[in-house]
Chain A
Amino acid sequence: MVSAKFEVYRFDPAKDAAPHYDQYSLEMAAHTPVLTALLRIRSEVDPSLTLRYSCRSAICGSCAMQVNSKSRLACETQVGPEMERNGRIVVEPMRNQAVLRDLVVDQEPFWRQYDKIQPHLILDPRHPMPEGKENPMTPAQVERFHETPRCIACAACFSACPAVEADPGFPGPMALAKLYRFVVDPRDQAHQARLLAIQPGGLWTCLRCHLCTEACPKDVRPSERIRDLKEMAIRVQGATENGSRHAVGFKENIRERGVLSEAKLVRQTSGIAGMVGQLGQGVRIYRKKPEILKSPHPIEGLDEVRKIYAALDHPEGDPP
């Protein structure tokens, strides 16, 4: 048994000017889920505590919230380890979505991004589905979905994502993982159009921080699928955005000398016109670090680097 100390975010727009935290102390087994503890608070202490929940077994995606600052499902977060780690259990609503009441957030921005990626099979009427039969799909084709079919749309990733916070137009990890699921679906007939639409549509806003993958309770690994989308987008379209030009430029830059030529990378990413816009910043960097304009010497073992590039350029079993 542990004495669990909860600090729970409370806000009722009908009567509160600002949110506050209520404290509760309860005795419970160490493996008790935070959700069970919150439901005990509702039935034993305060029935007005408001949260979303349903299945209590990590499959419906209702009870995502922040527990000790991490976005996760309350139903599969145990009280004991949280007490050990933090000495108390701070329960707050998810981030990047407005609070409606207590732990309930307005998921409209999350679903809007989901809708925007056209989350359904797009078919070409010239290639109808087989009449009365399933489309064949090899186990290898099923593998290409990776873990994306496990997504329960709990929005923990959306809550954890700093790019969503910085840019409300960014689709967010869940929508992009869902987009990936359609891009690799052999039944979908708009792969190219989806990839053409997404590169200027915010794909490169992803910071590659992997917080989404850390937050995901179902191991969907959205950041890895976003990486795959970036590769596929460059392949069908070339590098059209600062983000993709930066990625491609980085690769070509290092190929040359085995070490980064920073000044050149700026040109590769932003182009000459873009560099003009960044002139002030460039001058400031030059004053502190004048060697930045010099091309670095090729490194020793450049042959090894070139071998790596050769392997990368002709991988066995091309990725999607």
Chain B
Amino acid sequence: MQRHEVVVVGAGLAGQRAALAAIQAGRDVAVVSKLHPLRSHSGAAQGGINAALGKEDSVDTHIYDTVKGSDYLGDQDAIEFFCREAGPTVVEMEHFGTIFSRGDDGSLARRAFGGAGFPRTIYAADRTGLALLQGLWERLGTERFTLYEEWDLTDLVVRDGRVHGIIAFDRKGGDFEEIAAKSVVLATGPFGRVYGRTTNAHSCTGDGVAVAYAAGAYLKDMEFVQFHPTALLESGILITEGARGEGGILKNAAGERFMSRYAPHVLDLASRDVVSRAIVTEVAEGRGFDGPFGKYVHLELMHLGKEKVMSRLQEIVDYCRNFAGIDPVTEPIPVYPGQHYMMGGIGTDIRGATNIRGLFAAGEGACVSIHGANRLGGNSLLETLVFGKEAGIAAAAHAETAPKPEMHSADLDAVVAPLRAWSNRKDGEDPTALREEMQTTMDRYVGIYRNEADLLEGLKRIRAIKARFPNVHVVDQSHVYNLNLTDALEVGHMLELAETIVVGAYARTESRGAHARTDYPKRDDARWMRHTLAQKTPQGPSLSYSPVTYTRWEPKERVY
């Protein structure tokens, strides 16, 4: 058994920032991750990180834009804190060594983003996540801590309402191990892979969110799922909003610029939820294209000219050529909305604390909530750093006074016994087949437009898949890098989370932000201005609700 004061699980931006804060507070820290930290999905973020650093901009405007973007479901005290921390956070990352793009005067360059009153998105070309991940990893590398690389999180040990440590699978060593800890920070990122059409990496399976849920933590606002309008058809790879920002236009199979019917003023640059819903409507009403990889619309860049496309959208050109076999300079790009971001996650307060003592969470897998029903571009990278740091500080403080954790050999045995059974049986369910069925179900029944009949059907199907999961069969018998076991662990986690999404979406009889119910098309503040909390029971998630915190901004209709 390993012992540390603070264990951080997940080594993307939130996890690394939490680890740095806990180390700086003098604690013995371990970082556990199923990927090398530089391979974390934070590195895939393209656009930028928001901070109201411009002379004409203000923190208050950033707060207001975030509150409005959240469709008034964000907690305003948390949003105020978040936006105030933005400037110092970005400057700190610059001091750590992040290489940002610069203006002619040498200051941090800023670009305009959807839903923002001013250009306040600081960026590093179209690879801001990678730049931040490099800068933070370089800074963290100067500190002393233990890295458990390529370890899969399998369980949290919680007894008497308090965390005692984690259990994880060491892929290389081929065994399950206990790591005792006074504080655990979960920063394992999102669970976008519950959907088939997603811009998320294969590794985004919500392991930390699922083990927290299993241990009794509340999951908050799980029904709020952001879909990006332009994911590349077959692979779901993100085609940045910048493509439309540079003048790209969407067309249906009749050659119509259909956004003129949905957003006559801002057209293709309407907010993400609006454009996504428009594309789905076009296809549903028979005006989409059809092909072997499903129905779609066209994103056209050809009219922009080769020079502009090649200079401003180089990454997009590469993506289209390498992943779809098409040349966007001369051909339209086939796109359809794909799952992009999870607003929901492990419920925390501003300090990253959960309802379990010693358990903290941060990043996309956590829900403070600052994004409410809809996240603004440029706020997610900022969230990882601001709340990663807070969670690290709080975890360190808790570890300073918490009693010694108690891990028993029975803890490990209880977790490992069923997992061993997966490998020992002769026949059973294929984890990759279960995963695919879950993804198809979520795509079909719990997508952009939702209604009662679909959600009920989706729930029935997810529960049926979930019921088959205990009979999962791990065919690979090797102890070294058994990815077949990882597949099974991950799909087990995701099935639990998929169920909370569907149950939350079914219960919420209104439309707010990214949650669009065709049978309840209006926002209903009187009944639904509240957070959904899901807690695990043997029968499935049990829902309760908590109030939204207001400070200065009264709810208004959200129009752009």
Binding site for B on A (CB under 8 A): 12-15, 29-31, 33, 36, 42-43, 47-48, 50-51, 53-62, 75-76, 78, 80, 100-102, 104, 107, 111, 115, 119-121, 129, 132-139, 141-142, 145, 149-150, 152-153, 181, 185, 187
Contact = CB atoms under 8 A, between A and B. Distances in A.
B432 A47 contact: yes
Contact of B35 (A12, A62, A111, A138): A62
Nearest to A188: B97
B322 A121 contact: no
Contact of B202 (A31, A56, A101): A56
Given A43-B432, A48-B476, A60 B44 contact: yes
A171 B347 CA distance: 45
Interface residues of B, number: 64
B484 A48 contact: yes
**What 8 pairs between A and B have smallest CB-CB spacing?**
A31-B325, A136-B106, A48-B476, A43-B432, A55-B201, A120-B138, A76-B322, A134-B94
Given A132-B91, A134-B91, A104 B35 contact: no
B121 to A, nearest CB: 15
B38 A61 contact: yes
A136 B76 CA distance: 33
Contacts of A48: 475-478, 484
B257 interface: no
B144 to A, nearest CB: 13
Interface of B: 35-36, 38-41, 43-44, 88, 90-91, 94-97, 99-108, 124-125, 127, 130-131, 134, 138-139, 141-142, 172, 201-203, 235, 237-238, 292, 318-319, 322-325, 430, 432-433, 436, 475-484, 487
B403 to A, nearest CB: 36
A54 B325 contact: no
* Interface of A: prevailing SS: loop
Contacts of A145: 99
A13 B480 contact: yes
A36 B235 CA distance: 9
A104 B481 contact: yes
Contacts of A56: 201-202, 235, 237
A14 B481 CA distance: 11
B95 A47 contact: no
Contact of A60 (B91, B201, B482): B201
B134 A135 contact: no
Nearest to B324: A31
Contacts of B172: 100
Contact of A121 (B88, B96, B475, B476): B96
B44 A137 contact: no
Given A55-B203, A57-B323, A138-B104, 19 more contacts: A12-B480, A31-B323, A31-B324, A33-B322, A43-B430, A48-B477, A48-B484, A50-B483, A54-B41, A58-B318, A59-B44, A60-B40, A62-B35, A100-B481, A120-B138, A134-B91, A136-B106, A137-B102, A149-B130
Contacts of A14: 478-480
Nearest to B91: A134
Given A47-B475, A135-B95, A59 B43 contact: yes
A142 B433 contact: no
Contacts of B91: 132-134
A31 B325 CA distance: 5
A58 B322 contact: yes
Contact of B323 (A76, A107, A149): A76
Given A47-B487, A56-B202, A57-B237, A142 B481 contact: no
Given A55-B41, A57-B237, A101-B481, A43 B130 contact: no
A78 B139 CA distance: 37
A298 to B, nearest CB: 47
A129 B105 CA distance: 18
Contacts of B238: 57
B95 A101 contact: no
B99 A142 contact: yes
Nearest to A138: B106
29 contacts: A31-B325, A33-B235, A43-B432, A47-B430, A47-B483, A48-B477, A51-B483, A54-B35, A54-B39, A54-B41, A54-B202, A55-B44, A58-B322, A61-B39, A75-B323, A76-B323, A80-B325, A100-B481, A101-B480, A104-B481, A115-B141, A121-B96, A139-B102, A141-B102, A142-B99, A149-B99, A149-B130, A152-B130, A187-B95
B325 A29 contact: yes
